[in-house]
Amino acid sequence: MDEVHVETILYLAGSRYRTEYDCHRYELLRRKWNMYEKYADAFHWLESQKENMITTLKNFVQTPSCGREPEDVISFSEMFLEFLEKEGFSCRYIPVGNENGGTISAIYGEEREGKPILFSGHYDTALYRQITDKENPWKREKGKLYGSGVLDMKGGIVIAIYCARALKQIGWDKRPLKMIWSGDEEVNHKGSNGGEIFHREALGCECAFHMETGFPEKELCIGRKGGVRCKIQVEGIDAHAGKDFEKGRNAIVEMAYKILEIKNLTNMDRGTTLNVGTIQGGTIFNSVPAHCEIIVDMRFTSNQELADTKEKLEAILKKTYVEGTTTHWEYIDSMPVFETTPEGLKLFRFLQKTAENAGLPVPESIYSGGSSDAAATAMAGVPTVCACGTIGEWNHTTKEYIWEDSLVERAKFFTAAILDIFQ
């Protein structure tokens, strides 16, 4: 930047030997300088905030919010709601049942005209407090930050908060800023309507930055598989394996036929996979088993394929191979596909351009097999990119960490993007 500035000043000082090439070069330099100027105030402020960002993240990480521990996740939501209100957001807490953390929908600058810019994600974490307290407590070491949720995804929440603060700091007021934070994403909104609420709250936004777990190579995610988990139970008739063999109806054998058919629904060309992940059945070896149970993990790349495969699966489940057995099933959780859309791709390319303009690392795109609520914002017709959060590794394990510099870098990135959208 300095070099550009010096050259510009030299130019302005005047040269008697100015050529057409010089004029062209000057024009390019002048434009570049103006571009940097646009981001400079926000960037300088964000750079001064690194330690504050780390302190905010530390407080969030040290307030546990495992999605499987209702007391913790709900008390985190109360603290978080208060935090956002102090930031000047008007907040709503939308309950999703007694067992799960509710959805927080917050808006800043509601009176401003135009569609809001959306930051979204979740505040619940994956691992039980007992495990992470002992095996991955908050720690700062050699440029890395450790702790439950630093990466997935309290770091992403902190980035969103500081983007909002930076924009406030420089007096930017072109659009409302909206935030949607789910409290039960890590349990796939099990038993709740958290997914539908997310979708509803996202309707009408200009674009969404989903602040999920960043990838180690800093790619942005433009699509994710959706997943459905199905629990299947077969009931047969138990009987002595010697004396009453013919009176028995073997539930394991019935399930075995079904498993082979289920396996055949996998279609790697379409990215459709069905994994029979667990099986339980029988009591003792010399008794015909009356019960067998499996859980199938199914993943898809399009919501149409998801619907079609569910139909094929149900046709298999309705068929009986061992007469006298019955089969029941239930979908225990479900996350829709984050489909790659032309609008989402356009947003991704726009972000690449912003990174280039702002002198930040230019991200590649990535497609992921794991699901997220980015599916809900994309299905609401909002151009969405995911994995906008902090950069690190090992989420959902006790090795979870982030690179501390990624907090400021990503806050600069998305602040610059918003400045670019409305220049």
Place of tokens 């935030």: 179
- The token duo for 51 is 């330690």
One residue of 69, 72, 124, 152 binding Zn ion per CB under 5 A: 152
By C-beta, is 153 or 418 nearer to Zn ion? 153
Considering only residues 240 to 299 of the shown chain, the ones binding Zn ion according to CB under 5 A are none
**Nearest distance, CB of residue 83 and Zn ion, angstroms:** 19
Span near Zn ion by CB under 5 A; candidates 153-161, 309-317, 383-391, 402-410:
153-161
For residue 187, what are its two tokens? 């349990």
Q: Dump the DSSP string for 333-347.
A: EEE--B---HHHHHH
Both tokens of 108, joined, read: 């800043």
Peptide bond into 35 cis (omega under 30): no
- The piece of 69-77, 90-98, 151-159, 169-177 that touches Zn ion (CB under 5 A) is 151-159
Backbone phi, psi, residue 120, to 5°: -145, 170
Q: Which is nearer to Zn ion, 152 or 400 (CB)?
A: 152
- Distance between CA atoms of residues 33 and 11, nearest Å: 13
Look at the alpha carbons of 61, 66, 69, 74 in this order and tell me if their dihedral is positive or negative: positive
Q: Would you tell me how many other CB atoms lie within 10 Å of the CB of residue 319?
A: 12
Does position 124 bind Zn ion by CB under 5 A?
no
Least distance from Zn ion to the Cβ atom of residue 92, Å: 22
Q: Are 32 and 405 in contact (CB under 8 A)?
A: no
Q: Which is nearer to Zn ion, 153 or 288 (CB)?
A: 153
With contacts defined by CB under 5 A, name the span among 149-157, 158-166, 223-231, 396-404 that binds Zn ion. Answer: 149-157
Q: Among 153, 180, 232, 408, indicate the residue that binds Zn ion (CB under 5 A).
A: 153
Closest distance to Zn ion from the beta carbon of 183 (Å): 12
Of residues 49-108, those binding Zn ion (CB under 5 A): none
Nearer to Zn ion, 202 or 288 (CB): 202
Which residue do the tokens 């999920």 mark? 212
What span, in angstroms and rounded, lies between the C-alpha atoms of 391 and 368? 16
How big is the site for Zn ion, counted in residues (CB under 5 A)?
A: 2
Of 125 and 327, which CB lies nearer to Zn ion in the complex structure? 125
Query: In terms of CB distance, is 153 or 351 closer to Zn ion?
Result: 153
CB of 186 to Zn ion, least distance (A): 7
**Residues 6 or more apart from 361 whose CB is under 8 A from it?**
218, 355, 409
Of residues 199 through 218, those in contact with Zn ion by CB under 5 A are none
Q: How many CB atoms lie within 10 A of CB 51?
A: 9
Chain Cα centroid distance, residue 291 = 38
Nearer to Zn ion, 160 or 166 (CB): 160
Smallest distance, Å, CB 63 to Zn ion? 17
Q: Which residue is nearest to Zn ion (CB)?
A: 152
In one-letter notation, the amino acid at residue 405 is D
The distance of closest approach from Cβ of residue 52 to Zn ion in the complex, given in angstroms and rounded to an integer, is: 24
CA distance 256 to 310: 19
CB of 395 to Zn ion, least distance (A): 7
Residues that bind Zn ion (CB under 5 A): 152-153
